[in-house]
Amino acid sequence: MIEKDGIIVGWLCASISRYVPYSDVSALAMDYYQCSLKGFSGAKALLLAHDDFFEFADSLKLECAVSSSRMYNKEVFNKILEKDSWLNRNGLMVKCTRYHRKFNNNIKKRLSLKELGH
């Protein structure tokens, strides 16, 4: 929950799921985000909520946190999170925890070994 002067002005709801349906990567996925603040305060609230959201995913030992906006202002939502080190994957915002398996590094290693003739 996000509070300002003791009043709840926003909240985020999430559930544990898969990063994508055909993957075995575990994630904490944002289901709903609501905030009544606008402008700079709204952007700050978005960042604070997602910082807590990410920390919670990490504490559960999940591999990543996944968020997205289905609203008309999703470009602004995504830009704010991108500036806070979230990755934009075709409109789906992803931030990997320390428990994420490094698939890309393994693929690069296999390719480089093949190129070397091993």
Task: End-to-end CA distance of the chain: give it in Å, rounded.
Answer: 53
> Has this prediction a pTM greater than 0.85?
no
pLDDT in tens, 73-105: 678 899 999 999 999 988 889 999 988 876 444
The rounded distance, in Å, linking the Cα atoms of 62 and 54 is: 10
| pLDDT exceeds cutoff 60 at 108 | no
Amino acid identity, position 34: Q
Domains and CATH numbers, the chain: 2-115 (3.40.630.30)
pLDDT above 70 as % of the chain: 81
Which residues lie below 8 Å from residue 4, measured CB to CB, with a gap of 6+? 37, 41
Q: What are phi and psi of 13, to 5 degrees?
A: -120, 135
